[in-house]
Amino acid sequence: MTMKLDPRTKLVMVLCITTLAIVYNTPGALFLLLAATIGLLLLFRINLIRVMGYLKPYFMLLLVLFLAQCIFTPGGEVLLAIGSVRLLGTRGLLMGTTVVLRLLIVIAAAVLLTTSNSRDFISGLVQWKVPYEVAFMVSVTIRFLPIFRDEFINVVTAVQLRGVELKKVPWGQKIDLFRRLFFPVVYGAIVKAQQLSVAMEARGFRAYPRRTYLRQLYLTRWDYGLILVFPGLTLLLMGLHMRLV
């Protein structure tokens, strides 16, 4: 039943979840939202173990972000210090946990979009009177998420083939190494974007003012219900959060 939801319904659900992830600023609320998002993924029968395998290369980046927030966020009680140099405080630990949980929620919500075909997303958005160019950009953005992952895996594999054992590299050098790996990943993604633009031009993208579609999507009662329930629940939770804060 849930697997047959319209892609536009899933897009509304993802927008609501990410909005709450941005509004919430406490680890407790974000942890509950992450648990609810994971429950939603299980409802769609998404293999979480496989997803964790795909996201494994990004765990180091999350750890670096967590440590950076912990070290460079001032305030709170000092938990760890070397002499007069403060390394970790309660506010930094709180901020680091918040940032990591927020990113995990956004990633988990984005996985929900992978349960539908990118062409269905374009067709659904166009049926909602969204310009085709905008709908195509949204589809390409979703498509480039796994491309970034694949580029990162390829770069790390290339480094390991040159005899660099990442597990034995000291933490200080490892952070500098991942910073240097960021540029070839971005460069590879830019090259693929250029190749995509050439392919679009060769196939006559925007050559005609109107487009036709083989499939037409139709919203069911479940789609209409979820499209109404999710934004309403999001506004309610935002209002409760504002009152508590």
Domain spans of the chain, in order of start: 1-116, 117-222
pLDDT at 137: 79
Kindly tell me if the per-residue pLDDT of 206 is higher than 60. Answer: yes
In this prediction, residues 109-122 reach a mean pLDDT of 79
Burial class of residue 53 in the structure, from the number of CB atoms within 10 Å of its CB (0-12 exposed, 13-18 middle, 19+ buried): exposed
Tell me: the pLDDT tens digits for 46-81? 877 877 776 776 777 788 888 887 777 777 676 666
Kindly tell me if the per-residue pLDDT of 7 is higher than 80. Answer: yes
Least confident among 35-44, 103-112, 152-161: 152-161
Kindly tell me if the per-residue pLDDT of 1 is higher than 50. Answer: no
Tell me how long the chain is.
245
Element (H, E) at 18: helix 7-23
pLDDT at 123: 81
User: 88 pairs with which residues across the strands?
Assistant: 80
Q: How far apart are CA 192 and CA 149, in angstroms?
A: 13
In this prediction, residues 212-232 reach a mean pLDDT of 86
Q: How far apart are CA 102 and CA 62, in angstroms?
A: 11
Are 227 and 15 in contact by the 8 Å Cβ rule? The answer is no
pLDDT at 2: 43
Are 71 and 92 in contact by the 8 Å Cβ rule? The answer is yes
In this prediction, residues 23-52 reach a mean pLDDT of 86
Question: Please, what is the average pLDDT of the chain?
Answer: 80
In this prediction, residues 216-238 reach a mean pLDDT of 90
CB atoms within 10 A of CB 63: 15
Long-range contacts of range 203-209, CB-CB < 8 Å, 24 or more positions apart? 206/133
In this prediction, residues 133-138 reach a mean pLDDT of 78
Element (H, E) at 138: helix 132-161
